[in-house]
Amino acid sequence: MIQPDDISRKALAIYREYLRSWVEGDPGYFPRRVPAKMDPGPDVVAAIDNVRRLREGSKDVLGYGYSVEWKELQSRRHGKNLFPSKVFIATELDLLRLVGKESEFRRFTEAVARLRSEFPVLQSWVRSHLAAVTDAAADLDGLLEVVRYFRDHPRPNRFTRELPLTVDSKFIERYERVLSQWLDLVLPPHEVRADENHFGRRFGLRYHEPDIFVRFLDRAVQAELGFPCDALAVPLHTLGAWDIRGINAVIVENRVNLMTLPMCTRAIAIGGLGNGVSLLRYVQWLQHARVWYWGDLDREGLEILSRVRAIYAATSSIFMDRETLERYRHLTGPGSGRRTAARPAHLTPTEADALDVCDRQGLRLEQERIPQAAVLDKFAREFEPKTGVYAVRSCSLTDTAPSRAPATDASAERAAR
């Protein structure tokens, strides 16, 4: 026979169901029957105790909670007695008091009413995210303030701590998921970068951008952009703001390999970002460049290559094909052991063949294992080599785009030194 603790647990599920019914405006939800086993069982003493506890926990005794419908039964085992035939919750208040949710439900209904009133477009979100409404209800004032600001000032190009709001940046960070869902609905589509999951990039905020490592493989390009050093780290959007044409861009994962690439005409090497390589879609001048990618020859490296090629379709790979794998098989090590049925979409046939071998045999050819002589030979064949000693010097930049004034002969000579 069902007992008060069982009814309380079932009532929590009924409460969650009722939230949806309330949002939908269903006036006929109550009374609500509680699924219950009523058989008193063969033990007479236990049956009497169960009936007593069921009665003592009911609305008839406590004044709220579940109600019991009783039926008089005659049996050889139990004699003539009243036994429960149905357990039900008669009213909203009975349910809320039974599960201890009166205050929570009040906050929930007030939050729904405010969202519907101020941003009717969020009605569909409310129906699909009842638990999130409950979680956000206590901070609704701050959340609505943020949404109003973005509605009135879309893509503000400020750090969150610079926004003229009463809430701080930690508040926005804590509620990024909810705010992202709301802003997607509230803002015009052209104010939302739909291909971005990063909150700042999606809604036009400034943020601490990743620094992208760059090495100039041609002094003339370095001088053209006005840099005093040939190896530097620049914020993502600063790199994207460069005005540069006719470039060979070599994306290399391993930093030592990048620093030891040979000099090449009109060439720049970019430090790899691993799985973050898709950020390079913000570097628009790469659309006009000849792009190369060199990473480890394994599933992970080939997946990254595919992501680069999804952005820059004409990207070529370096040492990432079946021929390379067979030539340097003696230098391979164990791969990650990860097997997936999906083959990356943007691989050439020979790259795909290399992936199949790496998957089947659990191989990885790390790019730093490729002999330097082979690298020099590859670059001599693929690029126009530059001669002369080139001492690498490094520096970093603040988030400021470099000067694009044409370099004079004197400044170019200084930059080359």
389, pLDDT greater than 60 = no
Whole-structure pTM value: 0.75
Half-sphere exposure of 311 (CA within 13 A, CB side): 23
Residue 401 banded pLDDT, cuts 50, 70, 90: very low
For residue 213, list its beta bridge partners: 233
In sequence order, what are the residues at sequence separation of 6 or more whose Cβ sits closer than 8 angstroms to the Cβ of residue 16? 130, 131
Using one digit for the tens of pLDDT, what is the confidence trace for 143-187?
Answer: 999 999 999 999 999 999 999 999 999 999 999 999 999 999 999
For residue 384, list its beta bridge partners: none
Q: How far is CA 408 from the centre of its chain?
A: 46
The domain 211-415 is classified under which CATH number: 1.10.530, 1.20.58, 2.50.20, 3.40.1360? 3.40.1360
The greatest distance separating any two alpha carbons of the chain, rounded to the nearest whole angstrom, comes to: 113
Find the radius of gyration of the CA atoms of the chain: 34
Spell out the domain ranges in the chain: 4-100, 103-203, 211-415
Using one digit for the tens of pLDDT, what is the confidence trace for 334-355?
Answer: 987 666 668 899 999 999 999 9
Paired tokens of 93: 């208040």
Q: What is the pLDDT of residue 80?
A: 61
**What average pLDDT is seen over the chain?**
89
Residue 374 banded pLDDT, cuts 50, 70, 90: very high
Tokens 């008060």 belong to residue: 4
